[in-house]
């Protein structure tokens, strides 16, 4: 850590002049943008935008993920001092112009309008030529994000880390439900089923619509590196969207979530899985379902911040 910089740097979220570079302001002080990136709505020259969607009105059990983006940003203040561990010295904060685009605005009293707003919000970022990583929010937000990406890239290979497949049947277009986003994405042709997969599943679903499942037991038995190798082969050169529901982790590693299920991955397994995917054509991703009211010691928010950093690394790895 550059001690001289620590003495002078503060509130880089508003004051830093360069979109690239590590940050050295004290982790416990200053404005908490994601990874101390500059808050800006000006995407000129931005390679990758981080944005929050604090929406949790589609949950089946415990609410609270509306506070997820704020908690993840705060937890991320521990990370921007050094390049991320395990990436062979690759330093995406120094290599790419990354901005915190802030949260999406919406009227909480008009829930039905939110999906279209999310799609337009993300589409605007992509139209500006920037990549997009989203901090959720419940898992319903992923459907309109996929719509925006599919409009730009065509059908996507989806890698979904989750305790649940989220393919529960839902043929009512008026419903907004975090447990059905994947079902609708398949029916709308947003994802290429043959190139998509779920990882960490440990709940029963009647019909997974043909998407391959690497359940949590398989991850434990074969190891995360082997699963990552299979996923890399499955997606091939296709554009990939990676959605990481934090309940893919065991509740011991992510207690702050709405629908926790025991028997999940450890944070170490998740790190190995994500790093093992280096080289995939990641075009976008999200980390969702971080619910701070049920967290302890910011364990889940810290995990979410690290997942988001790994998504940045995956996005940047093939663009170095």
pLDDT of residue 205: 86
pTM of the model: 0.96
Instruction: Provide the residue range defining the domain that includes 282.
Output: 3-317
CA distances from 24 to 4, 99, 126, 155, 223 (A): 9, 17, 30, 40, 36
pLDDT of residue 138: 96
| Cα dihedral value 228, 231, 236, 240, nearest 10 | -100
What integer is the mean pLDDT of 93-103?
98
157-210 confidence digits (pLDDT tens): 999 999 999 998 888 888 888 889 999 999 999 999 999 999 999 999 888 999
pLDDT higher than threshold 60 for residue 302:
yes
pLDDT of residue 92: 98
212 is in an annotated binding site: no
Query: d(Cα 17, Cα 21) in Å, to the nearest integer?
Result: 10
pLDDT of residue 172: 85
pLDDT of residue 3: 52
What integer is the mean pLDDT of 10-21?
94
166 is in an annotated binding site: yes
Lowest-confidence range among 71-85, 171-185, 300-314? Answer: 171-185
Ranges of beta strands (E only) in the chain are 48-53, 98-103, 131-136, 157-161, 197-201, 212-215, 239-245, 281-288
In this structure, the number of other CB atoms found within 10 A of the CB of residue 242 comes to 28
- CATH classification of the domain holding 139: 3.40.800.10
pLDDT of residue 2: 60
18-54 confidence digits (pLDDT tens): 999 999 999 999 999 999 999 999 999 999 999 999 9
Percent of the chain with pLDDT over 70: 99
Strand, helix or coil for residue 199: strand
247 is in an annotated binding site: yes
- DSSP-derived secondary structure for 207-223: --TT-EEEEHHHHHHH-
pLDDT higher than threshold 90 for residue 8:
no
Lowest-confidence range among 55-64, 74-83, 111-120, 127-136? Answer: 55-64
pLDDT of residue 4: 55
How many structural domains does the chain have? 1
Query: d(Cα 202, Cα 165) in Å, to the nearest integer?
Result: 9
88 is in an annotated binding site: no
Lowest-confidence range among 7-21, 146-160, 186-200, 306-320? Answer: 7-21
208-251 confidence digits (pLDDT tens): 999 999 999 999 999 999 999 999 999 999 999 999 999 999 99
CA distances from 192 to 144, 159, 215, 275 (A): 16, 11, 20, 23
């Amino acid at each position: 850590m550059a001690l001289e910089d620590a003495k002078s740097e503060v509130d880089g979220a508003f004051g830093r002049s360069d979109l690239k570079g590590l940050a050295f302001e004290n982790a416990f002080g200053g404005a908490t943008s994601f990874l101390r990136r500059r808050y800006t709505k000006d995407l000129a020259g931005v390679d990758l935008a981080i944005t929050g969607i604090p929406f949790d009105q589609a949950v089946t059990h415990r609410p609270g993920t509306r506070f997820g983006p704020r908690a993840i940003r705060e937890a991320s203040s521990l990370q921007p001092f050094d390049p991320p561990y395990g990436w062979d010295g690759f330093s995406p904060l120094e290599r790419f112009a990354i901005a915190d685009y802030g949260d999406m605005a919406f009227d909480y009293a008009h829930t039905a309008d939110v999906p279209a707003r999310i799609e337009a919000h993300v589409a605007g970022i992509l139209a500006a030529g920037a990549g997009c990583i989203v901090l959720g929010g419940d898992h319903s937000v992923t459907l309109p994000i996929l719509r925006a990406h599919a409009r730009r890239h065509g059908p996507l290979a989806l890698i979904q880390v989750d305790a649940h497949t989220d393919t529960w049947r839902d043929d009512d277009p008026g419903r907004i439900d975090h447990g059905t986003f994947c079902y609708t994405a398949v029916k709308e042709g947003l994802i290429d089923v043959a190139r998509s997969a779920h990882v960490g599943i440990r709940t029963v679903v009647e019909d997974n619509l043909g998407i391959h499942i690497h359940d949590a037991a398989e991850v434990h038995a074969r190891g995360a590196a082997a699963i990552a190798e299979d996923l890399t082969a499955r997606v091939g050169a296709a554009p990939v969207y990676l959605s990481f529901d934090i309940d893919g982790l065991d509740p011991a590693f992510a207690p702050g979530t709405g629908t926790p299920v025991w028997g999940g991955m450890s944070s170490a397994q998740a790190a190995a899985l994500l790093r093992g995917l280096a080289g995939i054509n990641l075009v976008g991703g999200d980390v969702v379902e971080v619910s701070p009211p049920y967290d302890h010691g910011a364990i889940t928010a810290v995990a979410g911040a690290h997942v988001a950093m790994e998504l940045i690394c995956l996005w940047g790895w093939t663009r170095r």
